[in-house]
Amino acid sequence: MREIFQGFLFALKCKCPVCEAGDLFESRWSFVPKERCDHCGTRLRDQDVGDGAIVLLIFVLGFTLVPAALIWEIISAPPVWLQGIVWTCVGIAFIFWLTPAIKAYIMLLQYRHRKADWK
């Protein structure tokens, strides 16, 4: 369990899983991995995570935002339009914050468990 938690904390930094120093993505808010790591030269773009990051994000957001919206509805009963605006903004913020980290975590897991695929 500790290894999973440490891996996800590392993934929040969005660094190369091989050298743990170079940046993993084109920019901080980009979802596209760099062609090669600036530090160690590993080909990052060849490691495809597919739709795994988005599917995992759907589960995370579904299990957090829906209960939060229901609790807010029970506690204060805000207007529907306010709920729509608030949860849309919160959802979009979480998407842009968590998608690169989840992709980085999946790439880290691929590196740890399938090192032969990394050249």
Q: What is the pTM of this model?
A: 0.80
List the domain range (segments joined by +) for residue 70.
2-117
Q: Are 39 and 19 in contact (CB under 8 A)?
A: yes
Q: Are 20 and 10 in contact (CB under 8 A)?
A: yes
Per-residue pLDDT, averaged over 74-79, amounts to 93
Residue whose tokens read 């901080």? 28
- Structure tokens that stand for 22 in this block: 């170079």
Q: Helix 80-113 and helix 2-11: axis angle, to 10°?
A: 110
Q: pLDDT higher for 104 or 116? A: 104
Structural domains in the chain (count): 1
